[in-house]
Amino acid sequence: MVLIAVAWIFLIEGHGVTTNRGADMVHKHGLTASPVVVAATHLPTGPLPAMWAWLAMSVAMMLPLALPGMRYVGLSSLRVRRLRSMTVFLLAYLLGWMVFGVVVLLVGQVLPEEGRGYVFPVALLVAAAWQLTGWKRRALLSCHRIRTIRISGWRADRSCGAFGLVTFRRCLISCWPLMTMMAIVSLPIGWMVALSALMIAEESVPTRRLYRMGSALLILLGAVWVLLGAV
């Protein structure tokens, strides 16, 4: 929880986070690059600050989704290696997101500047549609699945790491449109909070059609709002 709080503080005070009028700025002032892309392309130190920023975003937004898994790993481990087991799980989980971030960063590099302004609303539309797919539903269902955790030696580390990677994969399938968007586009902090809350809530509520339709509608309304702001 401390890590998550630190990450949010970093995001709020850190690179290129816009105000609540960010969507407007995105369109009118052509500020279309995310902190990641800005840092990567404009800072003299190169990609490292970009990856720090992406790591902060992953910790802030995606780590909460892995907390139940981390708790399970802790309870399934011997007391003496509980911290190590949870750390291995966490590192594997975040490693997955870092690799994803590198891939998206590279993709973002080849996007023309003038096109980046459309990434935000298009990604929201894709995310809204994704909410209603069977893949999303099955990914949400699998979020509650666990794996056997071994208790000692290399088997224990392997099982914790494997569970971390599997958890990342499930989260990726569930949330890839929103996370792709956030890697490329600079979002106001309010949007980031709202989208984080949506992702946490949909893991907690039953995966019934009504809830998924409701969340899809919310995201769709967000896309419309952004587009209207652009008109």
Partner 1 sequence: MLQSDLYRGDPILEAIASDEIGPDGRRVRISRTQNNTHDVVEKIQTGLLYWDSNALPQFGPDGDYGSETAGAVLRFKRQYLQEPEPVYDDVGPKTVNALDLICLAQQPGPTPPPPTTYVRRDVWVLQPDATWHPHLLAYARAVRAMKQRDLSDPTSWDFQAAIHGTYSAPPPGTPTNSWHSCQHGCGFFLPWHRLYLYYFERIVRAEVIRAGGPADFALPYWNYEGGGTTAQLPWPFRLETLDDGSPNPLFVPPPGRRNSVNTGFPIIEPGEPNPPSSDIAMNYSTFVPGFGGWDIRVNHDGRSGTMYGVESSPHNPIHGRIGGSLAGALMTDPDRAALDPIFWLHHANIDRLWNRWLVNHANPANAVWGGQQFYFHDEARTLQTPAVSMTNDSAKDLGYVYDDQTEITPRTEMLMEAEAQPPELIGSTEVDLSLLGDPASINIEIPEVVRADFVERLVSASRVFLVAEDIRAPRNTGLDYGLSIVLPDMANLGETRTYPVGSISLFGIEQSNNPENQQGVPGMRHTFDITGIIQGLIEVGEGLALANLPEIEVVVAPSGLELLDEAERDIFNFSNYGVTIGQVSLYVG
Percent composition of the chain: helix, strand, coil (DSSP 3-state, to 5)? 80, 0, 20
How far apart are CB 114 and partner 1 at their closest, in Å?
43
State which of residues 111, 147, 198, 229 lies at the interface with partner 1 (CB under 8 A): 147
**Closest CB 175 distance from partner 1, rounded Å:** 18
Round to whole Å and give the CA distance between 106 and 109.
Answer: 5
Among 12, 78, 107, 200, binds partner 1 (CB under 8 A): 78
From the number of C-beta atoms within 10 Å of its C-beta (0-12, 13-18, 19+), residue 145 rates as: exposed
**75 touches partner 1 (CB under 8 A):** yes
Verify binding: residue 87, partner 1, rule CB under 8 A: no
Is 209 a binding residue for partner 1 by CB under 8 A? The answer is: no
Work out which of 21, 28, 29, 155 binds partner 1, going by CB under 8 A. 155
CA 13 to chain centre: 19
- Residues between 2 and 31 with contacts to partner 1, criterion CB under 8 A: none
Residue 206 interacts with partner 1 (CB under 8 A): yes or no: yes
Residue 182's closest CA among 197, 196, 164? 196
H helix runs in the chain, sequence order: 2-13, 22-28, 35-42, 47-61, 63-75, 82-110, 119-131, 134-142, 153-184, 189-204, 209-230
The Cα 138–Cα 158 span in angstroms is 25
- Does 200 contact partner 1 by CB under 8 A? no
Which among 89-97, 144-152, 177-185, 213-221 is the span making contact with partner 1, rule CB under 8 A? 144-152
Least gap, CB of 17 to partner 1 (angstroms): 36
Q: Is 162 exposed, middle or buried (0-12, 13-18, 19+ CB in 10 A)?
A: middle
Piece in contact with partner 1 (CB under 8 A), picked from 21-29, 94-102, 151-159, 184-192: 151-159
Cβ atoms within 10 A of the Cβ of 153, count? 9
Q: Taking CB under 8 A as the rule, does residue 141 contact partner 1?
A: yes
Number of residues that bind partner 1 (CB under 8 A): 21
Q: In this chain, which stretch among 94-102, 136-144, 183-191, 210-218 interacts with partner 1, using CB under 8 A?
A: 136-144
Q: Check residue 206 and give left, alpha or beta (phi > 0: left; psi -120 to 50: alpha).
A: beta
Q: Which of 173, 189, 207, 220 binds partner 1 (CB under 8 A)?
A: 207
- Give me the residues that bind partner 1 (CB under 8 A), please: 75-80, 138, 141-142, 144-148, 150-153, 155, 206-207
